[in-house]
Structure 1
Amino acid sequence: MTDSEPNTKPPLDGVRVVDFTWIVAGPTCTRLLGDLGAEVIRVENEQTLDSIRFGRPHPNGFDPPDSGAMFNWLDRNKRSITVNARHPDGLDLIKRLIRVSDVVVENYSSRILENWGLSFEEQRAENPQIIYVSLSGFGHSGPQRDYSTWGPTAQALSGLTAMSGLPEAPEPAGWGYSYLDHMAGFTAAAAITAALKHRRETGTGQWIDLSQVETGMALTGPATLDFTVNGRRYRETGNPPGNRSVWPQAVPHNTYPTAGDDNWIMITCTSDTEWKAFCEVSDHPHWRTDRRFATLPARLRHEDELDEQIGSWTAGQDGRTLMQRLQAADVPAGVVQNGVDLVVNDPQMKAREWTVTRDHPVIGEHLTDGLQIHFSRTPAHRDRPGPPLGEANHYVFAELLGLSDEQIAELQMNGAMG
């Protein structure tokens, strides 16, 4: 088989995941597994639904639990069943599902599944090959294992929040989004693929215990090293504000206005060669000989003046055309894009087919992101929107677990399938 003759099966075809996740971190992990072809079965309870099912926006009006765009984005390529894990018959259904599955993923507080009777030891008693992933703020060991966290608090505890904001500001700015939810989810998905490889080679499953705080701490490595070796703080008082460069020193290094409302272009020159090329493209060759701008030390002293002159030159020009002119001369430059620019209009994203159109029974046809990974031999994308609540009940309980219609009806009546 050649790369021009791809396999029709996605990379994780045949892998079944029991998904107890909620909010963002866990669903990010299982979404990636679903994108790669795993059969992901969300275990939900009608009495305690994932709050993301109710989160905005609701494109065609508020009609939960299936109308939320964020839920359908986070939980695409998944199935949904409704089970009450605190009912003995519901717990038995979950254990039977674990017997025919490969992976269990949850991102609750550390003792939730243990209290349900689904600790790793109890899961392994049902299926010795099961891979269990617990994704919590501090992990399932240590004196802080019982502390609850959210993405922003995990970021603060990891040190990432302290690294944000302008140098002279008295307090960190924060990231404005739960970046660590996504980072932890991606990390968990990578760990699962490693555990699947180990199981294929040894026949045994294992417990993957992941701390969201620790995934953030791993991102602080360069700043920590710089402080311990060089004594430099990440947010050093006296550092230049905004988009100027602290290290390596480079001038110009800033954003400049272009034609239109709130349109900007980023331009930087990190060498004399780039500065020379920039002066030629800008039709200001005299900048090269101006004593204020001729050398990097001079430009550093007169950075405000140079930024003002460059901004006067860029204003009124089309940003993308200017970017292409500068890039053609090997000058680093890029337009500052908003969401529409990047998702809808960017020619690179179009060429990569980054966006796809999906249809949903409640939301209708909508544009969303595809998979950012391109495999030459194994397609890695299923066109399944987020699941309506309980849409896979018959498939899982009747087809996978072999229950009769009468048994299913009885379980629904006694509250085990709620």
Structure 2
Amino acid sequence: MGCREVKINNKKPVLHNIRILDFTWVLAGPYATRLLADFGAEVVKVQPLRPPEADDAFTRAYYNTFNRNKLGITLNLDRPEGVALARRLVATCDAVAENFTPRVMANWGLDYANLKNIRPDIIMLSMSVMGQTGPWRDFTGFGPTVQAFSGLTAMTSFPGQPPTGIGFSYADHAAGLYASLALLGALEYRRRTGEGQHIDLSQVEAAASLLGGGVLDYAMSGREPPPAGNASPRAAPHDVYRCRDGRWCAVAVFTDTEWKGLKRALGSPAWADASRFATLSGRLANIEEVGGKVAAWMKGRTAAAAMSVLQENGVAAGVVQDAGDLARDPQLKARDFFIPAKNAFTDATPIKMSAAPARYQRPAPPPGRDNDDVYRRLLGLGREEIAGLREKGVI
């Protein structure tokens, strides 16, 4: 993947001089460290010497997306010499990030108890599926597993239907956002106190925190909240509707003011003035009738036309976009959301800082791309030493 040319701001990036040793893999961890790398943190990605299990176009694009702006080294942690090099690297870094099960780093002697003996103010981020404690601490899983454990899979379905799930690893992104925030907080805490710390982040807990009122409802009433599909107990209508062009438009009306806007958009039909629709409670009680009327109106318009007239009248409405729509989206293009790459593109960070913007200067590293630079610059190894480590299968 290549990165676009950008106009470099002469000011140093906001995370200049922060170095992170990154043992993470798949999505949640690499996403967390990529967010920091985009704003200037020097992230050193550690990879094993063995080739990846898959090497198709999707896998490469996936890796390239979540590992841009990072340095890449290879290191054989099954060899004592590899562990020794990792320990030396830790001494040069501000933070260490990993998303294995708890036993993995401990088996290498790279758990927090050992790392803080190397560098007392080190910050370590551990973001396992279940967290570092509890009876299920050693459970493994990926985004869909986390979503199932957290309740998201059960809640994203329709009443009386099997769990549907979200369709992609939403939980990985949520955990990555929590992790990046935690790292920034720990770095600020160390700046003020001089003390490092261990961040124990459970990916399941991060996803469960997104459930809204479901868990609270059960705790208060003992009632198991059923999956709601596209409905909401606080809005009517609240659904997606098929339009004349076969596309879909999402509509949500919460307040009486928004209901008046919907009536205007629909041409002030007589049915909408019925007293049973005058309040939210009335509209919720008659949701099937309301939804049917809106659905009938939608069938006579394209999704884009329906969205336009609804938005003009203050109604929250949006075309249900697919990947192709996003790639062509004029709003996203206007805000430089996409970074062109060789034969593809990837997403920019949505965070736009006026004084210290994100930079996209380095494509994702193939394994070992930066071995010479990192081992020379950070550890002071000479050419012959590096060559010897390569011959021994250590790097």
Specify if TM > 0.5. Answer: yes
Q: In the TM superposition, what are the counterparts of 1:175-324 in structure 2 within 5 Å?
A: 175-220=166-211, 222-235=213-226, 242-245=229-232, 247-250=233-236, 252-260=237-245, 262-289=246-273, 303-324=287-308
TM-score (norm 2): 0.89
Structure 1 residue 263, shift from structure 2 partner: 0.8
Task: Give the 3 Å change call, closer, same or farther, for CA 133–270 of structure 1 in structure 2.
Answer: closer
Separation in structure 1 between the aligned mates of residue 123 and residue 36 of structure 2, nearest angstrom:
14
- Tell me the equivalent position of 1:84: 76
More deviation in 283-292 or 6-15?
Answer: 283-292
Q: In the TM superposition, what are the counterparts of 1:152-163 in structure 2 within 5 Å?
A: 152-163=144-155
Separation in structure 1 between the aligned mates of residue 172 and residue 259 of structure 2, nearest angstrom:
40
Structure 1 residue 275, shift from structure 2 partner: 3.3
Separation in structure 1 between the aligned mates of residue 136 and residue 238 of structure 2, nearest angstrom:
43
Task: Give the 3 Å change call, closer, same or farther, for CA 137–280 of structure 1 in structure 2.
Answer: closer
Deviations 1:76-97 (A, max 9, x none): 1111111111222222221221
Task: Give the 3 Å change call, closer, same or farther, for CA 94–163 of structure 1 in structure 2.
Answer: same
1:343 to 327, 331, 352: 327
Structure 1 residue 272, shift from structure 2 partner: 4.1
Aligned 8 A contact 2:264 2:313 in 1: no
Deviations 1:52-106 (A, max 9, x none): x636526xxxxxxxxx111101111111111111222222221221111111111
Separation in structure 1 between the aligned mates of residue 202 and residue 231 of structure 2, nearest angstrom:
34
Aligned 8 A contact 1:254 1:267 in 2: yes
Give the aligned residue type for 1:57.
Answer: F
- Tell me the equivalent position of 1:414: 392
Deviations 1:283-325 (A, max 9, x none): 3532334577677676556544554443333224232233222
Say if 2:125 is the partner of 1:133.
yes
- Tell me the equivalent position of 2:33: 30
Aligned 8 A contact 1:23 1:50 in 2: no
Q: In the TM superposition, what are the counterparts of 1:337-416 in structure 2 within 5 Å?
A: 337-345=321-329, 347-358=330-341, 364-416=342-394
Identity of aligned residues (%): 41
Separation in structure 2 between the aligned mates of residue 297 and residue 22 of structure 1, nearest angstrom:
48
TM-score (norm 1): 0.84
Q: In the TM superposition, what are the counterparts of 1:3-22 in structure 2 within 5 Å?
A: 8-22=11-25
Gaps of 5+ in 2: 1-7
RMSD between aligned residues: 2.6
Task: Give the 3 Å change call, closer, same or farther, for CA 184–243 of structure 1 in structure 2.
Answer: closer
- Tell me the equivalent position of 1:172: 163
Q: In the TM superposition, what are the counterparts of 1:56-135 in structure 2 within 5 Å?
A: 56-57=57-58, 68-135=60-127
Structure 1 residue 401, shift from structure 2 partner: 1.5
Aligned 8 A contact 1:6 1:376 in 2: no
Separation in structure 2 between the aligned mates of residue 70 and residue 233 of structure 1, nearest angstrom:
37
Structure 1 residue 248, shift from structure 2 partner: 1.6
Aligned residue pairs: how many?
A: 388
